[in-house]
């Protein structure tokens, strides 16, 4: 599939997506490692803070599946979703809020919509 456009994001997520497009593309293996590491960090943090581990776990699994199944030309979009998931400087801090993964799921779902992967979307 040849992709010549970009995902559509709500305005509050668009600038973040654009900033991710300026970064160099990482390898699929490194992106997978980042998702696994962040998921482990979330699970450890949930012992001390009330976090939405259900959404975080579902999102982590869906990201791993997307990374394994997407084509090389789609990897740049999957990478943006990984960055949003693993970086704490997003709309709602992941590790300090019970709702911290809602914006991550929203971002991921926009990427899934664009890539025509409704089977991977995360429930909100």
Within a 10 A sphere around the Cβ of 114, how many other Cβ atoms? 16
Taking every pair of Cα atoms in the chain, the longest distance, rounded to a whole number of angstroms, is 45
**Ranges of the chain whose pLDDT falls below 50:** 2
In a domain, 1, yes or no: no
In a domain, 124, yes or no: no
Measured in degrees and rounded to the nearest 5, phi and psi for residue 38 equal -65, -40
- Measured distance CA(50)–CA(55) in Å, rounded: 13
Calculate the average pLDDT of the chain.
91
Q: Look up the domain containing 73 and give its range.
A: 12-17+26-117
- Measured distance CA(76)–CA(78) in Å, rounded: 6
Number of domains in the chain: 1
DSSP state of 103: H
| pTM reported for the whole predicted model | 0.91
In a domain, 123, yes or no: no
In a domain, 58, yes or no: yes
62-97 tens-digit pLDDT: 999 999 999 999 999 999 999 999 996 666 677 777
């Amino acid at each position: 599939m040849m992709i010549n456009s970009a995902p559509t994001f709500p305005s509050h997520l668009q600038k973040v997506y654009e900033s991710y497009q300026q970064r160099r593309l990482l390898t699929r293996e490194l992106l997978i490692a980042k998702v696994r590491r962040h998921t482990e960090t979330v699970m450890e943090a949930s012992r001390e803070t009330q976090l939405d581990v259900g959404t975080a776990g579902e999102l982590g699994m869906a990201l791993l599946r997307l990374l394994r199944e997407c084509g090389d030309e789609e990897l740049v979009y999957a990478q943006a979703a990984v960055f949003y998931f693993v970086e704490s400087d997003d709309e709602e801090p992941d590790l300090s809020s019970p709702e911290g993964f809602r914006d991550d799921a929203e971002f991921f779902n926009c990427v899934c919509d664009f890539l025509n992967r409704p089977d991977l979307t995360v429930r909100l």
